[in-house]
Amino acid sequence: MEDVTSSVSGLAFVDQDLDLGDLGGVVQWNAPSDTRRVEAYRVYLTDGASTRSLIGTEIPLGLNETFLPAETDNVWSLVEVYTRSKLVEQTTPIGLAISDTSASVSGIDFVDDDLDLTNLGGSLTWLKPTNAAQVESYVAYLAEACQDSVVAEVTGSLSLSVAATETQVLAAVQASLATMLGVSQSEIIIASITAVSARRLSTTWDVTYKISVPVAQASQLVALTAAINVDATSFVATLREELLHQGVDSAAVTSLQLLSFSTASVRIVVNDLANSTDDSDSGDSNTSDTRRLASSPTSVPLWICHAEVLGNATVNETSMDILVDTPLRNFTHILIYTSSTLAEQTTPEAHLILDAFASVSGVSFQDLDLDLGELGGTVLWLEPQTSQRLLAYDVYLAASETGQFWCPAKLGRFGSKPPMAGYGKTESPTVVLVTGGTGLVGKAINKVVNEDDAAKGETWVFLSSKDGDLVDRSATEAIFKKHQPTHVIHLAARVGGLFHNMAKKVEFFRENMLINDNIMECCRIYGVKKLVSCLSTCIFPDKTTYPIDETMLHNGPPHDSNLGYSIAKRLVDSMNHCYKEQYGCQFTSLIPTNVYGPHDNFNVQDGHVIPGLIHKCYLAKQKGEDMVLWGSGTPMRQFIFSEDLARLIVWVLRDYQEIEPIILSVGEEDEVSISDVAQMICEAMDFKGKLVKDTTKADGQFKKTASNKKLRSYKPDFKFTPIRQGIQTAVDWFVENYSAARK
Ligand code: NAP
Ligand code: GDP
């Protein structure tokens, strides 16, 4: 006789539901060594005695795991795996004690550094859970607590026998419950009262009642009813008094019997009002349903009607920036949920938001400068009532235009000890931020500024994409926070020649639009005095009259070849006007023609024509091959040497006061054909081979002749570098820096 034993081994379960009292995750085991008689496995949660609950369905032999869904109530002590044969299920399964993972962050801290009422900004920090082994990430939300619109419905019942009328019993029960439970009589609703049996001397009455109270009060009421259930003496005494009061005769009152008194139960009811706060955002994936939080700092259960994602962080991060000017709206709390690979917590940690608000009051100024049109004297103000978050005051002169609009000019910054007065003559040092500072134009500005005495007392910061991706709003904010620029020259852009533009229209639009929006909005928020952005003559209408001038920018669709780039750039001009009109910002733009020079992008595929041809010519010379010019060579262009452009950009920053753009270009008489340019490059490179044309390639716009009349009206004497000289400089630079050049 053979006694078959088939038990699983290596039973494993790691709880991945991060809430206390909830389980979830995968249960795994190894198959028995002898499986000849095993048909299937059954996996149970058990209390270690007779109660158990099957997880999912039976698992066929061959599969060695089952899944326990997140948020399974943990009222169990073991997970057990039984094997089953054709005849019977095992009676002695293999069991594993359940360990309930709970991982919540603690110590959430957020100090609002945005001093405007109803706006938030600053750093949100928290502490890692003590046991973070199952935590993958954190999700932070701004949340609206809806305490008032969520109520607890406490219901209970009792049964008594007394010789009294329904009205008398109802009133006496109502009054007695009110006294015993400490609520007002009007809050007690008698849901039903039924005479179940009527004898000569008494009637048995079944009564059910309902009380709606704030959630926080519910457990206390339940505890009081539980106490009456155990010892009803006082309740019966009160009931007798109330029956007498209702006119029931004393003999009947004496023979009163309380037959039963149940412990009340609680149901949480969310009023429609709570759900309706979800209004415009309903259906938004950022919006969470009403949830109960176990872990509010006050330990009063907290209910959330509406929440919106603030951001995510990986498990090892313990801070997150809340962007300046984040609207507070109706949000009351910050929530931080932990998340495992299985699920996000349902009961996160909550932190009450305190909105910092600090404005000075009593601003006064008496002009002691006796000239008309000039001011001088002391500006006075009173410090804000709450000044803990204050580092300094910025004092501006503002021109009121239509009352509501203003155009600020900063007078100065005054130190952390709030002074009672400050003189408006200390201009803060100028910090000029140059985005795209490592590109063709940025490098040229860097060179010009290094040679410019006027820039000696100023701080110039040249950014590259390594300092932060300007497509990303928070990275852009971090840059402004760090450098606190007073002036910005905005060059950073996704830039490329004709062929690159034709291939990537969507990227050219989206990246440039996002970069420009981030820069303009940060300039507004951080009080930048002047922003100069860079447009391009290739964004003008395709069908137009020549020469092009600044007034024609929006007069028709741009050339199809660079539609994405052009539209993104044109929006900068539109928004410069919007920012001026609404906020008084001094945002302007300049429009260079084709630029060339050292540090250009010499990539043959992606680069502009001059760097592209320089690179091709270099390779043709090296390899003894023909140099290939793309297209017919007949299109006409105006080229500006990068250092000339840099000098003009610095002039625009310091002296050009208009919001309207200004074309920065050589004269119309300096327009050259692509063939001529190619010829000049061959000469500068001393290339003796053949110059051939590949006419299968596109020509792009035939010409975009621009007028520099406006520039000449400001700078009649500006000397441009002759194109042959500029090309020679660019060629020499490329040859000398071949290995490091962008290509
Ligand atoms: P570039 O040589 O290609 O340089 C682009 C610059 O922008 C680089 O410093 C680059 O940083 C930065 N940049 C690009 N994407 C960025 C991002 N997402 N985040 C942060 N920085 C980013 O360009 P350029 O020729 O000097 O052009 C400068 C400006 O002039 C542009 O606005 C362009 O539209 C305009 N423009 C140029 C021409 C021309 O012929 N080149 C003509 C008319 C107008 P990395 O170096 O780190 O990549
Ligand atoms: P655009 O001025 O905005 O059109 O851009 P580009 O600087 O790329 O100039 C394009 C003109 O140069 C077109 O007429 C092209 O056909 C011509 N071209 C000739 N050879 C090349 C080359 O090697 N690269 C580029 N980008 N354009 C070339």
Confirm or reject: Cβ of 479 under 6 Å from ligand 1: no
Q: How far apart are CA 506 and CA 298, in angstroms?
A: 51
pLDDT over threshold 50, residue 406: no
Residue partners of 358: CB distance under 8 A and separation at least 6? 115, 384, 385, 386, 387, 389, 390
CA distances from 736 to 126, 357, 389 (A): 53, 58, 54
At 499 the pLDDT is 83
Task: Ligand 1 pocket test: pick from 462, 472, 491, 559 the residue with the most ligand atoms within 8 Å of its Cβ.
Answer: 491
Q: What are phi and psi of 63, to 5 degrees?
A: -95, 135
By alpha-carbon position, which residue is closest to atom 29 of ligand 1?
A: 491
pLDDT over threshold 50, residue 405: no
Per-residue pLDDT band for 301 (boundaries 50, 70, 90) equals low
Per-residue pLDDT band for 736 (boundaries 50, 70, 90) equals very high
Confirm or reject: Cβ of 609 under 6 Å from ligand 2: yes
Task: Ligand 1 pocket test: pick from 435, 443, 447, 465 the residue with the most ligand atoms within 8 Å of its Cβ.
Answer: 465
Q: What are phi and psi of 345, to 5 degrees?
A: -50, 155
Cis before residue 418, ω within 30 degrees of 0? no
pLDDT over threshold 60, residue 403: no
- Of the listed ranges 56-70, 330-344, 410-424, the one predicted with least confidence: 410-424
By alpha-carbon position, which residue is closest to atom 21 of ligand 1?
A: 465
Q: Which of 565, 596, 618, 656 is catalytic?
A: 565
Residue partners of 117: CB distance under 8 A and separation at least 6? 355, 357
Per-residue pLDDT band for 304 (boundaries 50, 70, 90) equals confident
By alpha-carbon position, which residue is closest to atom 25 of ligand 2?
A: 609
DSSP-assigned letter for residue 538: G
Per-residue pLDDT band for 303 (boundaries 50, 70, 90) equals confident
SS3 of 581, please?
helix
Q: Are 585 and 531 in contact (CB under 8 A)?
A: yes
Residue partners of 5: CB distance under 8 A and separation at least 6? 32, 34
At 473 the pLDDT is 93
pLDDT over threshold 90, residue 170: yes
Beta strands in 341-392 (DSSP E): 349-352, 361-365, 378-382
Mean pLDDT of 323-329: 90
Mean pLDDT of 495-518: 92
At 322 the pLDDT is 93
pLDDT over threshold 70, residue 418: no
- Of the listed ranges 169-178, 427-436, 484-493, the one predicted with least confidence: 427-436
Task: Ligand 2 pocket test: pick from 495, 498, 604, 680 the residue with the most ligand atoms within 8 Å of its Cβ.
Answer: 498
Per-residue pLDDT band for 161 (boundaries 50, 70, 90) equals very high
pLDDT tens across 449-492, in order?
999 888 888 899 999 999 999 999 999 999 998 998 999 999 99
Structure-model confidence comparison of residues 535 and 202, the more confident one:
535
pLDDT tens across 229-268, in order?
999 999 999 999 999 999 999 999 999 999 999 999 888 7
At 413 the pLDDT is 61
Confirm or reject: Cβ of 630 under 6 Å from ligand 2: yes
Q: Are 266 and 210 in contact (CB under 8 A)?
A: no
Confirm or reject: Cβ of 620 under 6 Å from ligand 2: no
Confirm or reject: Cβ of 439 under 6 Å from ligand 1: yes
Ligand 2 atom at shortest distance from the alpha carbon of 698: 16
Q: Tokens for 314?
A: 């990986």
pLDDT over threshold 80, residue 602: yes
Q: How far apart are CA 610 and CA 423, in angstroms?
A: 53
- Of the listed ranges 148-157, 188-197, 640-649, the one predicted with least confidence: 148-157
Give pTM, 2 decimals.
0.54
pLDDT over threshold 70, residue 279: no
Per-residue pLDDT band for 395 (boundaries 50, 70, 90) equals confident
Confirm or reject: Cβ of 438 under 6 Å from ligand 1: yes
At 218 the pLDDT is 84
At 682 the pLDDT is 97
Q: How far apart are CA 57 and CA 502, in angstroms?
A: 58
- Of the listed ranges 97-111, 342-356, 565-579, the one predicted with least confidence: 342-356
By alpha-carbon position, which residue is closest to atom 16 of ligand 2?
A: 699
pLDDT over threshold 90, residue 610: yes
- Residue in 610, 631, 617 with CA at minimum distance from that of residue 694: 631
Confirm or reject: Cβ of 700 under 6 Å from ligand 2: yes
Q: Are 152 and 213 in contact (CB under 8 A)?
A: yes
Confirm or reject: Cβ of 498 under 6 Å from ligand 2: yes
By alpha-carbon position, which residue is closest to atom 9 of ligand 1?
A: 436
pLDDT tens across 721-735, in order?
999 999 999 999 999
Average pLDDT of the chain, as a whole number: 88
* Long-range Cβ contact pairs of 111-116 (< 8 A, separation 24 or more): 111/356, 111/389, 112/353, 112/354, 112/355, 112/356, 112/389, 113/324, 113/356, 113/389, 114/324, 114/325, 114/326, 114/356, 115/356, 115/357, 115/358, 115/359, 115/384, 115/389, 115/390, 116/325, 116/357
Q: How far apart are CA 354 and CA 359, in angstroms?
A: 16
Q: Are 261 and 158 in contact (CB under 8 A)?
A: yes
At 583 the pLDDT is 83
User: Interior CA angle at 131 toward 127 and 136, to 5°?
Assistant: 80
Distance 344 CA to ligand 2 centre (A): 53
By alpha-carbon position, which residue is closest to atom 20 of ligand 2?
A: 630
- Residue in 564, 459, 454 with CA at minimum distance from that of residue 516: 564
- Of the listed ranges 40-54, 189-203, 542-556, the one predicted with least confidence: 189-203
At 83 the pLDDT is 97
Distance 464 CA to ligand 1 centre (A): 9
Q: Tokens for 310?
A: 């603030």
By alpha-carbon position, which residue is closest to atom 22 of ligand 2?
A: 609
Task: Ligand 1 pocket test: pick from 433, 435, 441 the residue with the most ligand atoms within 8 Å of its Cβ.
Answer: 441
pLDDT over threshold 60, residue 292: no
Confirm or reject: Cβ of 534 under 6 Å from ligand 1: yes
Ligand 2 atom at shortest distance from the alpha carbon of 496: 8
Per-residue pLDDT band for 270 (boundaries 50, 70, 90) equals low
Mean pLDDT of 210-220: 85
Confirm or reject: Cβ of 520 under 6 Å from ligand 1: no
At 373 the pLDDT is 84
Mean pLDDT of 678-703: 93
Active site (annotated) includes residue 565? yes
Nearest bound ligand to the CA of residue 568? 1
pLDDT over threshold 90, residue 514: yes
pLDDT tens across 359-372, in order?
998 999 989 889 88
Confirm or reject: Cβ of 610 under 6 Å from ligand 1: no
CA distances from 91 to 2, 6, 52, 57, 717 (A): 18, 11, 13, 18, 102
- Indicate the helix (H) or strand (E) that contains 240: helix 233-245
Distance 617 CA to ligand 2 centre (A): 14
At 437 the pLDDT is 97
Confirm or reject: Cβ of 443 under 6 Å from ligand 1: no
Q: What percent of the chain has pLDDT over 90?
A: 70
At 272 the pLDDT is 40
pLDDT over threshold 80, residue 69: yes
